[in-house]
Structure 1
Amino acid sequence: MHPALFHWKRLEQVVTEVLVQAGARHEHASLVAESLIHADLRGIESHGLARLPIYIQRIEAGLIELNDEPVVWKQEGATALVDGKNHLGAVVGVAALEEAIKLSRQMGIGLVGVRHSNHFGSCSYYAERAITEGKILIVLSNAPEAMAPTGGIRPFFGTNPIAAGIPAGEEPSFLLDMATSVAARGKIALAVKKGESIPADWAIDANGKETTDPTKALLGSLLPIGGAKGYGLAMFIDILCGLLTGAATGPHVKSLYDNWHDPQNVGHLFLTVDIERFMPLPDFCANMDAYIREVKSVPRKEGVSDIFIPGEIESRKKLERMENGIPFDPNLTKELSQLCRTYGVDLQAACYLP
């Protein structure tokens, strides 16, 4: 079967309506829909609408609080601590980002920690928002246990992502978004849904052996990027996002999929930098353009047509999918259709029409 194509904006409206029908406020539902479709537009399907069903299940189970608002629990100087109040992760993330941007306007930088949050989607969503405000952003998050420390076979750390967004002018902005595991856990879960195998260097099974079976991988442990270097980076992120903020750490971050008794208590950290404190923003963007062009002018290996900067491939895919539609695997389309019907929403209304 060929993948179904969906119009991104109409899809946002459909997903927003599903979340509203599930109990979310419209403004909150719209943020979550935007964050999920942001990932699908960029080709990061593991963090896109494949996550909507589990969000809805946790809402239905009473494990996400929709009737409260994230609050700034403490603020002093350029720092703040946001209590997410166990709200939808994207709602918490945007609230923290807005606080970090506000502080950077006042102080030059804004450092905001977050506790009592949930899975907040793709880190690049927040980096892209900061870029549109002319700010540099570094964002970190911890996650449920999925990756063992180097030498171990039992998961302890999450895939603990890190992202950085830096604006440019005419050239594409720098947008790095990466897990500290070789592959995000969501990609392996997606491989299970699609019935596909995974590369042998992504994970080990429960006995510590390399595996290409995504089901065995989910029962075992993901592998860190760069061996011990990725392990160290994951631990660093866990300390800043968990210990520093008062959120959960390591195996105490509750699973999005397997724990049906407790809130996740995910922790995040947002650092924004006001470029204008260093130089005028137009000058910085012009310097970024010249720098990027210099990087891309490096002699290329045979058969390489272009040198891409971080985020550029995804940005090109976003433009293409905004023009031609977002393709969804038939299994995911079926799952989303069933979910929409449950809430009286028509997924077909978002089908792509040229």
Structure 2
Amino acid sequence: MSSPVLQPTSLINFIKDALVAGGFSLANSEIVAAHLVDAEMKGVPSHGINRLGLYLGEVQRHVIDPKAEPIVDKIKSSLLHVNGSRGIGIVAMKKATDAAIELAKVEGIAAAGITGCGHTGRMGAYAEQAANAGFLAVSFGGGGRKLWGNVVPFGGKDPVMSTNPYTLGMPGLTDDPVVCDFAISNWPAGKVAVARANGHKLPEDIIIDKEGKPSTNPEDFYNGGALLPAAGTKGSGLGIIAELMGDAMLGAAVEYNWLLILIKVDTFRPKSAYDKSAKEFVDEVRGSKPVDPDGQVILPGERETSLAQKAREEGICVSDGVWKSITSAAAEYGIKADSYF
């Protein structure tokens, strides 16, 4: 069966059932499936349904506990610790965001340290949730270099840190948050995986091979190569700070440890004043003149919002390589794509 145009609900059910068949609890499967399909809808396939095989494999190798329930502890008036109980990070981060939002509604500010969890998926999803609830959201993760080191520091050829993502989000217009979500490398590892699955070459300045030489072949990354830091010293510096936070501050990590900080946008002035100023600036950016006369200036997160709306209306298209990957992974657990699409 070649890749069809997929309806979100059918795709969520397919991914959910494959996760359940692979050992995940129903509750965790529902959260993870919805998250992966949302990433696919928002045009971030590197953190979308292509992760299915990875997550099922991590269960088989006992890297994560598929039935784990995160433990949320309030350790100070505005400070939370969320222990992921060695489960999938998507569930831990969703619970952390929910808890931090409720605490920050009362205190005006909340910070959460999230530890003991696996892959957290697309971090922009949590910033979108917080921004839509009226918060400035800042998160970054690190501490996984001993198991997942794949990024070199500026000027180096040994991978001494991971992609250590940063995410920032704020309310823009209604249901139209402004969100920056980026790895400290030029590309996240998942994007290299998608290129590999589709047989594509990489652009320049994405990876080096095991000898430290530039390469455009995705296989070189998996054969001892590494990712390059974004913007040279800037990405390298951000990655090093995140690694110190995730390791030295929060301790041993399953994959990464995370810090999430939320501040109510009406803490310093009324929400009506924020909304007025935000709308003025959003309109100013969107109305600014593009370099390309036929182009358009867009805000961070705007592409994702637009693509998600298009996917709801027209369905989701996935590449043949990713389709083959997820259907094969699901079939290993008795879940057949033909029953859903």
- Identify the TM-score tier after normalising by the shorter chain: over 0.9
Q: How far 1:334 moved relative to its partner?
A: 2.0
Deviating runs (4+, > 4 A) in structure 1?
none
Q: Which residue of 1 aligns with 2:295?
A: 305
1:301-342 residue CA offsets vs partner (Å, 9 max, x unmatched): 243421001111121111111211111222221222223233
Task: Please list, as runs of the form range in 1=range in 2, the aligned pairs for 1:143-292 lying within 5 A after superposition.
Answer: 143=144, 144-170=148-174, 172-218=176-222, 219-248=224-253, 264-292=254-282
The whole-number CA distance in structure 1 between the counterparts of 2:38 and 2:97 is 16
Aligned to 1:63, what secondary structure does the other structure show? coil
Name the counterpart of 1:259. none
Aligned residues, how many?
336
Change (3 A) 1:350 1:131: farther
The alignment's C-alpha RMSD in Å is: 1.9
Shift of 1:281: 3.1
Q: Closer, same or farther in 2 for the Cα pair 1:205/1:272, shift >3 Å?
A: same
User: Which whole-Å deviations, capped at 9, do the CAs of 1:149-202 have from their partners, x for residues lacking one?
Assistant: 112111111111111121122583201111111111111111111111001111
Secondary structure, aligned partner of 1:65:
coil
The Cα offsets for residues 134-156 of structure 1, whole Å up to 9 and x where unpaired, read as 22211212252111111211111
| TM-score normalised by L of structure 2 | 0.92
Q: Is the 8 A contact 2:132 2:175 kept in 1?
A: no
**2:316 maps to 1:316:** no
Pairs within 5 Å for 1:82-161: 82-142=82-142, 143=144, 144-161=148-165
Structure 1 counterpart of 2:23: 23
Contact 1:205–1:217 under 8 Å retained in 2:
yes
Deviation sequence 1:70-117 (CA, Å, 0-9, x none)? 113551121122211101110111121122112211211111011111
1:22-61 deviation line (CA, Å, top 9, x unaligned): 2222221111111111111111111101111110111122
- Distance in 2 of aligned mates of 1:176 and 1:304: 25
Moved more, 272-281 or 289-298: 272-281
Report if aligned partners of 2:194, 2:322 keep a CA contact under 8 Å in 1: no
The letter of the residue matching 2:52 is L
CA contact (8 A) 2:64 2:117 kept: no
The equivalent of 1:347 in structure 2 is 337
Gaps of 5+ in 2: none
For 1:303 and 1:317, how far apart are their aligned partners in 2? 22
Percentage identity across paired residues of the two chains: 27
Read off the aligned partner of 1:209 and give its amino acid letter.
K
User: 1 CA distance for matches of 2:112 and 2:23?
Assistant: 28
Q: Distance in 1 between matches of 2:334 and 2:3?
A: 23
CA contact (8 A) 1:113 1:241 kept: no
Where structure 1 has 5 or more consecutive residues not aligned to the other structure, the ranges are 249-263
Given that residues 81 and 245 in structure 1 are in contact (C-alpha distance below 8 angstroms), is that contact kept between their aligned partners in structure 2? Answer: no
Residue 205 to residue 122, structure 1, CA distance change in 2 (3 Å): same
